[in-house]
Amino acid sequence: MVKQAHAGADPSQRTLPALALAATGVVFGDIATSPLYALQQAFGEQGVKPDHDNVLGLLSMCLYALLLVVTGKYVLIVMRADNHGEGGMMALGALARGAMRGRGAITWLTIMLGLAGAALFFGDSVITPAISVLSAVEGLQLATPAFQPWVLPIAIGILIGLFLLQRGGSSLLGHLFGPLMAFWLLCIAVLGIAAILGHPSVIDAVNPYYAVLYMGHNGFKGFASLGAVVLVLTGAEALYADIGHFGAAPIRWSWFCLALPALLLNYFGQGALLLKHPDASATPFYRLVPHVLLYPMIALAACATIIASQAVVSGAFSMVRQGIQLGYLPRARILHTSKEMEGQIYLPAVNLMLFVAVMASVLIFRSSQRLGGAYGIAVSGTMLLTTILMLIVAKRKWQWNMLQLAGFGAVFGFIDTAFFTANMLKLREGGWFPLLLAVCALLVMTTWRRGRAMVIQRLHREGKKLDELIREVMARKPLRAKGTAVFLTRSRQWAPQALLQNLRHNEVLHRRNILLHIDDDADTPRVRRGKHREVKDLGEGFYWVRLRFGFSERIDVPAQLRALDFDPGLDPNELSYFIGSDEVTAEHKDRLWRWRKALFIYLYRNAEPAVLYYGMPARQLVEIGTKIDL
């Protein structure tokens, strides 16, 4: 799901075929590896027999799921909902929230829907590497049963290597992603064609009658198998998430010309195999492969799943950074791994948490078959929330009429609800796992947002208005030190606590005092050129400076301060940064549950220091402590 995995030139300077090839490697890694486990899951646990009608019926549902959901919903409609060129669940949530233009209950619900979608994506980020790598390595069991005890250790070894390599960034491997994934798609297409030629009657599955017949004959089992059908759609969100980097045209071109045909050919090839050999339902993908090519195909599948895993892990990094800059997550250390590309980032704390969660999922479920039930809930839940947010955007921003809204909502709302409900049947078999991860992520985001608001309220309650402070300064005429002091402030109206404490204890002011407000929770991914800086002269040597950053931009405060037009100009080496070092306690019992206060305090104490997060030089930092009781 992620733009970070690609390395290359500015998209505007690259040709459409080059961008389409790059998009193939980054955007379609997840959905392109779904043939490894989708049909296997469908016939493996649901108790549906792989007879003629069932195979054609299931294939028919997979066909129209890809055509309706991925092509119709995401490629043709959702990809139009770009937030100033950016996509993804956070961007869509911000777009829907901006379209509401209010602070009522509906706006709050819109915010929660966006956060819930982002939280489900975190669950997806954990399960995708586990199920993808496990499904690839499990092919070794077909070569010889002697490999069976080694499947889990080999998968764990691959995943350990994947997370160890994250620190170096993906730019070194990025140029290989497109060609490798394109080769993978061509290979699975050829395997599918060979099987279809051996049993061409499988083409009958194009008739949607078989899908209706399948549901009618299998009843509840047929409905439950929708939880496996949704696995052919894994990675659909990536088409939307990566439009900011590749643009819509290359992604659409790659989808229609390569990814979609290859996937359909392989699924129909697996169906042709099952029509001829129903006993192959346990591992239909690898049964397509000639025995002499089994080991090379397993190696290629492992490479494809590593690419898919790399993309989704990088996507988690991107999502967390957006959450930080939108104000829903505490500051975390962000390392930029490429000088050419802004999007390539590495978050050590997030990488460690993902690694622990992925290892837990592998050791708990131990096979791709058992992970399939857990995977479907995260995928279908995200798709359902996307549909709801899209209705808000279409109504408020695109001005769709009621007929258009009803059509979109009825078709995709019905499909997404059916998929999500079918996957909820697997709650006890593993569906609880992504929901638990999503609940934890949502709890952290809402607790941080609410706790931070309470901290600001406490500071204002014990603070002083800025205008009042300036009047006092004019009256008292305190001593003035040489140079320029920079005080971080959260509000245009209130004086920073660090400034108040410095005056109270030292009774001195610098000749020039910059009250710096960093607006890093904008609903747009990038701030327009010329809009990053705003300066107001408040008199008596006070200046209010506002720096704006979008949720996809790198925050570099010293670089922006150097660009300020002061007379005389600023010498960055002579600035003194005054930072409030707040100690948060929780003695009061009102307004926030005690355990949530404890969680917030833990997050607050372990957040990345502002001096590091905003790029301020530590040698020019002055910290002034304040105690805040929640």
Q: Name the residue ranges covered by the structural domains of the chain.
A: 3-449, 462-629
pTM: 0.80
Q: What is the pLDDT of residue 343?
A: 57
Burial 285-318 (b: 16+ CB within 10 A, else e): bbbbbeeeebeebbebbbbbbbbbbbbbbbbbbb
* 3 state SS of 617: coil
Q: What is the pLDDT of residue 101?
A: 66
Burial of 144 (0-12, 13-18, 19+ CB in 10 A): exposed
Q: What is the pLDDT of residue 12?
A: 46
Classify the C-alpha dihedral 355-184-28-343 as positive or negative.
positive
Contacts 24+ apart (CB under 8 A), 363-366: 364/433, 365/130, 365/430, 365/433, 366/152
Q: What is the pLDDT of residue 6?
A: 40
Give the integer Cα–Cα distance in Å for 136 and 138: 6
Q: What is the pLDDT of residue 578?
A: 84
Q: Please tell me the number of Cα atoms within 13 Å of 577 on its side-chain side.
A: 22
Name residues whose C-beta falls within 8 Å of residue 339's C-beta, 6 or more positions apart in sequence. none
- Maximum CA pair distance of the chain? 94
Of 332, 303, 340, residue with least CA distance to 316: 332
Give the integer Cα–Cα distance in Å for 236 and 90: 16
Residues with pLDDT less than 50, the chain: 1-13, 172
Give the integer Cα–Cα distance in Å for 487 and 575: 10
**Count of residues in the chain:** 630
Residue with tokens 């397993």: 298
Give start and end residues of each alpha helix (H) in 242-293.
Answer: 243-246, 248-254, 260-276, 284-287
Say if residues 471 and 617 touch (Cβ distance below 8 Å): no
Give the integer Cα–Cα distance in Å for 273 and 280: 8
Of 368, 381, 367, residue with least CA distance to 435: 381
Say if residues 579 and 488 touch (Cβ distance below 8 Å): yes
| Homologous superfamily, domain 3-449 | Amino acid/polyamine transporter I (1.20.1740.10)
